[in-house]
C-alpha cells in the first residue's frame, strides 16, 4: 500500500498530546531558569545571557501552548447552547432558542492587534495578552 504524501490534519487527541508535551517542556525550562537565577543571585555572577535565552525559550513554549489550545478549541467546539442545549450556529452571537450568549462567538468586527511581546494576533480591547500575559502598551 502506498502512503499519501499529503500530511494528515491533526486530530484533537494529537493536539492534546502535543499540548501536554509542550507544557512539560515549558515546566522544565521554568525550573532550569529558576535554578540558574538562584545560583546567579547567590554567586553574583553567572551568565545573564543564558537566563535570557531560557526566558525566550519559555516564551516560545507559551506561544505553542496558546496556539495548540486555540486549535483544540476550534476542532472540538461544541455548537450547543450552554443553557438550553439547542444547536447554535458558530457565527451566531446568541442562541436563537433562549438568547444566551454563544461562548464560541468571535466578533468579526473586533479590531485585531499584534502583541508587542509574543507577536500573537489578539483583540485590541485586551489589557493583557491571552498568550503571554504581558500588559499591552497604552492600557
Q: What is the pLDDT of residues 60-108, one digit of tens each?
A: 999 999 999 888 877 766 678 888 988 888 788 899 999 998 877 777 7
| Domain identity same for 96 and 41 | no
| Domain identity same for 24 and 56 | yes
- Looking at residue 2, what is its pLDDT? 43
| Domain identity same for 83 and 72 | no
Residue 119: which of 78, 50, 48, 63 has the closest Cα?
A: 63
- Looking at residue 82, what is its pLDDT? 80
- Looking at residue 78, what is its pLDDT? 66
Number of domains forming the structure of the chain: 3
Give the domain extent around 92. Answer: 78-106
* Angle value at C-alpha 124, between 119 and 129, nearest 5 degrees: 50
- Looking at residue 7, what is its pLDDT? 55
Residue 17 resides in a domain = yes
* Angle value at C-alpha 92, between 87 and 96, nearest 5 degrees: 55
What's the CA gap between 117 and 55, in Å, rounded? 12
| Domain identity same for 116 and 101 | no
Amino acid at each position: 500500500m502506498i502512503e499519501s504524501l499529503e500530511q494528515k490534519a491533526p486530530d484533537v487527541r494529537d493536539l492534546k498530546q502535543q499540548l501536554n508535551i509542550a507544557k512539560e517542556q515549558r515546566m522544565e525550562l521554568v525550573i532550569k531558569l529558576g535554578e540558574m537565577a538562584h545560583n546567579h543571585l547567590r554567586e553574583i555572577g553567572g551568565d545573564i545571557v543564558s537566563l535570557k535565552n531560557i526566558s525566550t525559550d519559555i516564551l516560545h513554549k507559551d506561544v505553542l501552548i496558546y496556539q495548540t489550545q486555540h486549535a483544540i478549541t476550534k476542532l472540538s467546539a461544541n455548537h450547543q447552547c450552554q443553557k438550553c442545549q439547542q444547536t447554535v450556529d458558530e457565527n451566531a452571537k446568541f442562541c436563537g432558542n433562549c438568547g444566551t450568549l454563544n461562548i464560541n462567538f468571535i466578533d468579526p468586527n473586533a479590531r485585531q492587534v499584534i502583541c508587542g511581546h509574543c507577536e500573537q494576533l489578539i483583540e485590541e480591547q485586551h489589557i493583557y495578552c491571552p498568550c503571554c500575559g504581558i500588559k499591552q502598551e497604552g492600557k
